[in-house]
Amino acid sequence: MGEKVIPADVPAVVLDGVSKSFGTNTVLDGVSLTIDRGSIAVMLGPSGTGKSVLLRCLVGLLKPDKGRVLVFGEDVAALDEKKARDRKKLFALRRRFGMLFQDGALFDDMTVFDNVAFPMRLHTDMSEAAIREKVSDRLARVGVAHAEQKFPAELSGGMRKRVAFARAIAIDPDIVLCDEPSSGLDPVMSATLDELILELHRTLGMTFIIISHDTAEARKVADTIGMLANGKLVTFGPAQQVFAENHPALEQFFTRATVGPIKVV
């Protein structure tokens, strides 16, 4: 597809001193991390700590006030959507991402089929026959094949989430961003989605960056675990190491304690 070949040792994502405030509300305060290609990173953190803001910075939907956001070596934060050349680069970078937004963000006026076909029509020159086949495959993988002709409003919250996941993986992205994929799903469906993530990771080598409150999910899928609290990355590293080091904030998260470094405001 004429895409630039990226050397294998360039990480999928590097954040270097990323800060973001909204007015006086400092949401991210000097966050630095590296996510290797082909890994599954799970980011944990209490509500309102900037996890979704972080994901939006990755795809250039939000600009950090400070710091670099390297995606396959390209600084997304330095790209200016108003400049034609940068816009082209941003578009090419976004093509590499699959995004599962926290609220699903399906197009309400499109059927399930058209929602999943949307990135294929936007970013590829696939034939309608090929699109049909791929949409069916994606919907079958997430167990909503029967809902192709329905509109989002006709679906349950969990079904919408699965359709959104099918759309996120529609064009075999290099990096899949999942903002709380399991919220709103029953435990069995949530486990099924985790298995799908592992399978896609194994078979297609996709890199996953998953935001989750679900500690069982983190244990099941993560190679790398990070935790954001009060604007800072309080811990980040290989899953086993992070679990072993038992950071107080992580410990509080896992034990659901109401007293600890995470303040309930």
Q: Report the site for ligand ATP in 33-52 (rule: CB under 6 A).
A: 45, 47-52
Q: Are 192 and 117 in contact, with CB atoms under 8 Å apart? A: no
Q: Report the site for Mg ion in 83-102 (rule: CB under 5 A).
A: 102
Residue 212 sits in the site that holds Mg ion (CB under 5 A): no
Q: Cα separation of 50 and 27, whole Å? A: 5
Of 52 and 212, which CB lies nearer to Mg ion in the complex structure? 52
Find the helix or strand (DSSP H, E) in which 159 lies: helix 157-168
Residue type for position 118:
F
* Least distance between ligand ATP and beta carbon 18 (Å): 13
Q: Are 248 and 257 in contact, with CB atoms under 8 Å apart? A: no
Q: Which does 49 bind (CB under 5 to 8 A by kind): Mg ion, ligand ATP, none?
A: ligand ATP
* Least distance between ligand ATP and beta carbon 44 (Å): 10
Residue type for position 232:
K
Q: Which stretch binds Mg ion (CB under 5 A): 46-54, 89-97, 146-154, 195-203?
A: 46-54
Residue 24 sits in the site that holds ligand ATP (CB under 6 A): no
Q: Cα separation of 238 and 198, whole Å? A: 17
Of 180 and 194, which CB lies nearer to ligand ATP in the complex structure? 180
What residues are paired with 44 via a beta bridge? 227
Q: Are 227 and 44 in contact, with CB atoms under 8 Å apart? A: yes
Helix/strand number for the chain, H first, E second: 9, 10
Residue 39 sits in the site that holds Mg ion (CB under 5 A): no
Residue 58 sits in the site that holds ligand ATP (CB under 6 A): no
* Least distance between ligand ATP and beta carbon 128 (Å): 37
Among 175, 208, 231, 182, residue whose Cα is nearest residue 51: 231
Find the helix or strand (DSSP H, E) in which 54 lies: helix 51-58
Question: Which two tokens mark 217?
Answer: 């999910």
Residue 27 sits in the site that holds ligand ATP (CB under 6 A): yes
* Least distance between Mg ion and beta carbon 226 (Å): 14
* Least distance between ligand ATP and beta carbon 221 (Å): 18
Residue 52 sits in the site that holds Mg ion (CB under 5 A): yes
Residue 22 sits in the site that holds ligand ATP (CB under 6 A): yes
Of 113 and 165, which CB lies nearer to Mg ion in the complex structure? 165
Q: Cα separation of 49 and 54, whole Å? A: 9
Question: Which two tokens mark 171?
Answer: 């064009």
Question: Which two tokens mark 16?
Answer: 């270097």
Residues engaged in binding Mg ion (CB under 5 A): 51-52, 102
Residues engaged in binding ligand ATP (CB under 6 A): 22, 25, 27, 45, 47-53, 102
